[in-house]
Structures are given as structure tokens and as C-alpha cells.
Structure 1
Amino acid sequence: MKKQRDIIRIVHLLGAAVIGTYVYSPYSQLAWFTLILQIVIIPALILTGLWLWKPKWFKASRKTATLLLFALMTTASLNPLQAQDRLKGGAGGFTIGVKAYNTAAHQFFVPEGGPTMGDNIVQFGGEGYGLLNRWVLGGSGYMSRGDQVQEGNLQYKVHGGGGFFQAGYVVYHTDELLAFPLLGIGVDALGINRRVEEDIAFAPDRFLEANYFIARPSLDVGVGVDWFPGKKGWKLGIRTGYNVTLARNNEWRHYGGEITTPDLPDNDLDGFYVRLTVGGGHFRTKE
């Protein structure tokens, strides 16, 4: 929890710097800068502020965060500008970012009194989409890497991955900028790898390495902003949102089959994420 609070405080400091830049510099005249402030920076500060103020809201019902984010995106989608424009094009690229995820359930597989794993994971992968009029249709996939701890001769690593089919709608655009809410459905997975790091003698039925993992159907609710500085060619974007697990139970698995221990911890893969995208593409207004 302390690490999450430290990260949120850094987010607030960066958000304050962006708002200060907007207020006291000529950048306030740039339409894309105003848009990023409205649909990314301010919603992020509101949600993380609520997280600090009322963390029990999010523990009691992760869907609360999703509903808040959905309401913010719905408000942004009421922008009537360019409502009749029809767009054509597409884009894709690499993604890298972080997700705030609670790894408390993975601590079950670490010996009692052992080191504690951090809650945040790094995600990297790729994404792409095409434009059909103002609809954004595509998908994304990523690998996840979390904390790594050592207990005696055993090393524990948090890792996983996921993928989503996504659909969105462009609520604002300029000649170089697209902004759109996104809704996705897919699968998210995360597990813990336990590996022996020393040469020791083993009985024949001992494992040198084991992987315990959980995979769940998930919902992805987010916002995307893409900037094409040359109108076509390379692009820079940002994705921020929240993942909601659609099925929750304690059915962990390992690579050898199902784990039947009845007292395994319940787990879900809910959490906020922020990702940077770098790639290429283009779009234009259809005549």
C-alpha cells in the first residue's frame, strides 16, 4: 500500500506540473494539449485522489472505479464538435507501461515470514486498430513482469500476459490528433514462478521449477489519445484505464494441471494501468 501511495503522489506532482504549464505558458492555445489535460490528466488526478482518500471503496467493489472511469469517458464523448466527420486510416505500435495490481494472493506461495512482493507490474507488448468512419476497431496484447524476491535458495518471479479485442469511438480529432474511449474484452493472466537458484541434491519427486498462475476473462475500460506529428508516419500515444475481472474464484493452476488444495487464496486481476504507445499509421477525413 505504501508503494502505491508513493506512486500516486508522484502522479499528482506530475499532474500539477502539467496543469501549471498549461496555465502559465502559451501551450494553452494548443488544442491537443487542452484535450490531453481534459480527458487524461484531470480524470487520472480525480481517480487517484479518490483512491488515496477512500481506498476502501476500491477494495469493497473494484467496479466502482470502472463506473467512475466510464462516467468520465461518457462526459467526454458528449463533445459535439465534428460530429459528422467520417475518418479513414489505422495505426499500430509497441506499448510499455505499468499496472497497479495487488499481488497479496501470490504471497501465499512464498514461505511464511519470507520477503514481500511489490504490487506493481510492468507491461510491454503491441496494439493496433483500424478506423471505420469514427469507430476504432482493433486489439492489444502484452507481457507482464512483476517483482522478484529471494528466499534462501528459492527465487520467486511474478509474470503473465493478456490480450483484448477492443472497440472505441473518436470523440475528438484534429489534423494530427485522435482521442477515443475504448472498451475491450479478453483474457488476463498472472502467476508466480518458483525456481531453485543453487545446485543442491533433490529427491526424485522434487521440482526444480514450478509455475502457479491464474487466468481470467476480463473487461478493459480505457481512454486513448494518439498524436501523428506528420499527419502520417510515426505516432505517439497514451492509454489509461482499468481492468475488471469477470470471474473470481480460487482456481489456481500449475503447468502440470489443476491445483486441488481447497484453501488457495481468491484472486482477481483488477487494476489501473497507464501505457505509452510508439508506432506508426495515418488517418484522414473521408470526402
Structure 2
Amino acid sequence: MGDIDIDQILQTITELLSTYSLRVLAALAIFFIGRYCVGLIMKALRSALEKRKVEPSLVGFSCGLTHALLLTLVVIAALGQLGVQTASFVAILGAAGLAVGLALQGSLSNFASGVLIIIFKPYRVGDYVVAGSGEGIVEEIHIFTTTLVTLDNRTQIIPNSVATSGLIENYSAKGTRRLDLVAGVSYGDDILKVKAVLQDILDNEPRILPEPKPTIGLMEMGDSSLNFAVRPWVKVADYWPLFFDLQERIRIRFDEEGITIPFPQRDVHLFREED
């Protein structure tokens, strides 16, 4: 009887070892081979992103997130080979992911917007833009925020979801801008002479681009003045220096030519009522 019990025990142990040793070996093989494959995938992904000159911070974040997800799948597959019920494990992970996603909803929205900005490039570092509620020169583009520097050297940090939720105006994208000026003269001045003087000022300014040709024309017959539109094209870097220089030059040249820049005027008519 004792010999039979020992034989049964030995047989049971042998069966368990043969069964579970194979499962353990299979699970270990799945884990190590899977981890090796994950490493190859990550190298390929990082290389592809770097060749496309994707922002380094986005490369690191994307590769880290992808690595964690793939490694989690490998671990779940290895546990399943051991006979562990992975359905409940996956459900727990899904619930945890949903809870984290809801808690980080704003951050995830900023992240998604940051990815879109980096991929589609509506603006780049150094561009002058109006985005969301901010306006200035783009100093840095991060995964969650965009940093602008205003013309008076203030720093504005805008969440990427805010920057992409409305209209984005990029003043630097085309490399050139039209400079819009208004020169007002009195009704008594010769408009042909005014146009000739304005044209001469533009012709002698080397920073003004020859194409497209500048526009000079009578834009409005106002209450107190004839308003001429002066619209040359300039490089983006020359916009503000030329904006100030041209206005000063127009004023000085008008004084030299005897062209009047009128003040606002009103004609007042008085009527005497008879007693």
C-alpha cells in the first residue's frame, strides 16, 4: 500500500513538473523573445521619428509610452501561458487607464494638440503668430504648451489645446508681408503730386521688394482729409523697422513739398433766430 502511494505521488509530481515546466519555459520564452522584439520595434520607431526630424521631446514621450504598452502586452501573454486568467487583469488595466484618462483629460488634450502642431507645423520656432489668446514670436514648442515672446519682451505660455482651438495667424510663414500705411492730405493738395511723392519715397527704399509691386491709391475721401493707401511688400524681418521709418519719411517729405496733413475739421453753421 505504501509502495502504491509513493508511486502515485511520484507520478503526480512528474506530471506536474512535465506540465508546468513546459508552461514556465513557454512563458519565459514568450517574455524574453517578446522583450527582444519590443526592443527592435522601439529602435525602428525611434529611428523613423528622428529621420522625420520630429521634436526630441515628442520622440522620447512617444517611444516611452509605446514601450510600456508593448511590454505590458508581452507580460499579459506570458501570464496567459502560465494559466493565469488575464481577462480580469486586462479589465482592471482598462478601468485604471480610463480613470487616469478622465483625470488627465486636459493634459491629454494638450498632448494631442502638441502632436498635431509638431506633425503639421502650423507654426515653427521663430515665427510671429497669433494663436489662441496669445500673440508674439514662437520661442519654444513643447508637448503640452507653446511659449511666445511678445514684442515688449513678455513671455506667454499657451496650452496647446487653446492654441489649436481657434484661428492661427502665422505672419512669418510666407516670408513676406504687406505693409499697410495711410497718408492723409488736405483737399486742397494736388493728388497727382501726392502720389508722385509717395512713389518716389518707395522707389528710394531698398528694403521694399520690387515684386509684388507697391500699391499707392486714393483709398478714402474722409471728413477732413484725402486718405491714400500706401502698401509696399517687405520681408518679415523688415516689417516693423520699415513701418516706423516710412511714416517718419512721409511726414518729413510732405513738409518739404508743402503738402498739408490736415487736422480733423468741422464746418459749424450758426443761425440767428429772430425775436
- Shorter-normalised TM range: under 0.3
Give the structure with the larger helix fraction.
2
TM-score normalised by structure 2 residue count: 0.20
TM-score normalised according to structure 1 size: 0.19
Higher radius of gyration, 1 or 2 = 2
In terms of fraction of residues, the more strand-rich structure is 1
